């Protein structure tokens, strides 16, 4: 398929150039059992990595066709969405003894020396399933466990990876946010999932805090972590794989599952605007399909948030109440989303509390 390879090679070259540009102002963390203890690398080391990346990108164009197929053993849990990139679609449901808290998407990226995992599901048992999916795809060590934000369905599986001693990586505000909510998250999810399903689950706080765009090295493959301003939460972090143009957006992108708000509706709309202008070959939402086209995937979410914000502002303008808002705002969106009855009113009240003071 020469035409396809030509296109992939152009994409790889473009991404390598974008990566070189992007790393000029970025701190870089390279391999270490304790990455937070390591000083940032100098510019020359970064360039060496970039050269390796460019070579690898061209090589990947050749492997692309085969690697886009699901890895046979991992296929049941995670599907290959790009060369060396796998993603799992969580249930669009509330946590239950049946789904064990597997209600958010997660995935992993395989370098030449190590693996980075993005999110761990809502219990240690879900984490163990992800662990099996990683092992079905590669024997390489899991160097980084990245949490896209503090919500329990994205972090409660961390315990399944503790024995491998990866660095647990998150937004610099993740540790504070998660520690403050730890008891509540554990108690609420134990109730919903049940004692048996919840066994082994505990909060593991990040060991590496990301305060600015940061490159992590997986050996011949660099991924870029970008902390965001307050949006879905105050600790949203996205993960870019420049080699394939894949971006893990965490809960900055909802699909199918009605959006939930624990940060700032104004911030979220602003972050979506910024991210929509940054091209990606595909994105992985926090909820919904394992892989989506960008920026089209953001449109329904953006529409939902805009409807909620504008209808709340109209109520505020005539001195209406929060009760009125939760009963009437955004009802035109009801048929567009799953779990609307479970979460929509809460999203409206969070947005109301914010917009009341603008
Ligand atoms: Zn979330």
CATH 3.30.450.20 describes domain 78-355 = no
Q: Give distance in angstroms: CA of 108 to centre of ligand 1.
A: 18
* Beta-bridge mates of residue 79: 87
The string of pLDDT tens digits covering residues 127-152 is: 999 999 999 999 999 999 999 999 99
Q: Give distance in angstroms: CA of 6 to centre of ligand 1.
A: 38
pLDDT at 37: 31
Phi/psi of residue 172, nearest 5 degrees = -65, -15
Q: Give distance in angstroms: CA of 10 to centre of ligand 1.
A: 35
Element (H, E) at 142: strand 142-146
Q: Which is more confident, 38 or 8?
A: 8
All CATH 3.60.15.10 domain ranges in the chain, comma separated:
78-355
CA distance linking residue 146 with residue 138, whole number of Å: 18
Q: Give distance in angstroms: CA of 287 to centre of ligand 1.
A: 9
Q: Give distance in angstroms: CA of 126 to centre of ligand 1.
A: 17
Inform me whether the pLDDT recorded for 13 exceeds 60. no
pLDDT at 253: 98
CA distance linking residue 5 with residue 3, whole number of Å: 5
Residue 126 tokens, joined: 């879900």
pLDDT at 10: 53
Q: Give distance in angstroms: CA of 164 to centre of ligand 1.
A: 26
Lowest mean pLDDT across 75-89, 221-235, 278-292, 314-328 = 75-89
Q: What is the mean pLDDT of residues 188-212?
A: 98
pLDDT at 338: 98
Inform me whether the pLDDT recorded for 260 exceeds 50. yes
Q: Give distance in angstroms: CA of 261 to centre of ligand 1.
A: 8
The string of pLDDT tens digits covering residues 71-121 is: 444 457 899 999 999 999 999 999 999 999 999 999 999 999 999 999 999
pLDDT at 14: 55
Q: What is the mean pLDDT of residues 202-228?
A: 98
- pLDDT range class, residue 335, cuts 50, 70, 90: very high
pLDDT at 75: 52
Q: Give distance in angstroms: CA of 86 to centre of ligand 1.
A: 20
Q: Give distance in angstroms: CA of 257 to centre of ligand 1.
A: 11
Which percentage of the chain shows pLDDT scores above 90? 78
Average pLDDT, the chain: 86
Q: Give distance in angstroms: CA of 212 to centre of ligand 1.
A: 21
Q: Give distance in angstroms: CA of 286 to centre of ligand 1.
A: 7
The string of pLDDT tens digits covering residues 25-82 is: 444 454 433 333 333 333 333 333 433 343 334 333 333 333 444 444 445 789 999 9
**Around 299, how many Cα atoms within 13 Å sit in the side-chain half-sphere?**
6
The string of pLDDT tens digits covering residues 155-164 is: 999 999 999 9
Q: Give distance in angstroms: CA of 262 to centre of ligand 1.
A: 8
- pLDDT range class, residue 21, cuts 50, 70, 90: very low
> How far are the Cα atoms of 21, 31, 287, 336 from residue 252, in angstroms, in the given order?
25, 28, 10, 18
């Amino acid at each position: 398929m020469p035409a396809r390879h030509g296109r992939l090679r152009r994409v790889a070259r473009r991404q390598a150039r974008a990566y070189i540009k992007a790393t000029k102002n970025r701190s870089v963390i390279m391999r270490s059992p304790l990455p937070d203890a390591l000083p940032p690398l100098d510019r020359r080391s970064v360039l060496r990595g970039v050269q390796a990346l460019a070579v690898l990108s061209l090589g990947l164009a050749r492997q692309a066709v085969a690697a886009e197929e699901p890895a046979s053993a991992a296929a049941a849990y995670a599907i290959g969405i790009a060369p060396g990139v796998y993603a799992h679609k969580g249930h669009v449901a509330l946590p239950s003894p049946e789904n064990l808290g597997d209600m958010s998407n997660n995935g992993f990226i395989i370098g030449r020396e190590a693996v980075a995992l993005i999110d761990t599901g809502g219990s240690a048992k879900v984490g163990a399933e992800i662990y099996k999916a990683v092992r079905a795809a590669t024997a390489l060590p899991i160097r980084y466990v990245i949490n896209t934000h503090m919500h329990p369905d994205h972090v409660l599986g961390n315990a399944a990876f503790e024995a491998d001693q990866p660095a647990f990586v998150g937004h610099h505000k993740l540790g504070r946010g998660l520690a403050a909510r730890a008891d509540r998250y554990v108690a609420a999810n134990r109730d919903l999932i049940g004692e048996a399903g919840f066994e082994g689950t505990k909060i593991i706080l990040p060991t590496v805090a990301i305060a600015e765009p940061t490159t992590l090295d997986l050996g011949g493959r660099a991924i870029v972590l970008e902390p965001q301003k307050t949006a879905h939460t105050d600790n949203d972090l996205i993960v870019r794989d420049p080699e394939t143009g894949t971006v893990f957006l965490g809960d900055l992108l909802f699909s199918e599952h009605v959006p939930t708000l624990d940060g700032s509706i104004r911030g979220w709309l602003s972050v979506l605007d910024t991210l929509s202008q940054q091209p990606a070959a595909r994105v992985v939402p926090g909820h919904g399909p394992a892989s989506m086209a960008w920026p089209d995937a953001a449109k329904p979410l953006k529409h939902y948030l805009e409807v909620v914000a504008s209808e709340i502002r109209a109520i505020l303008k005539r001195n209406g109440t929060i009760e009125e808002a939760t009963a009437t705002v955004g009802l035109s969106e009801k048929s567009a989303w799953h779990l609307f009855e479970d979460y929509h009113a809460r999203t409206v009240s969070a947005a109301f509390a914010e917009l009341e003071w603008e």
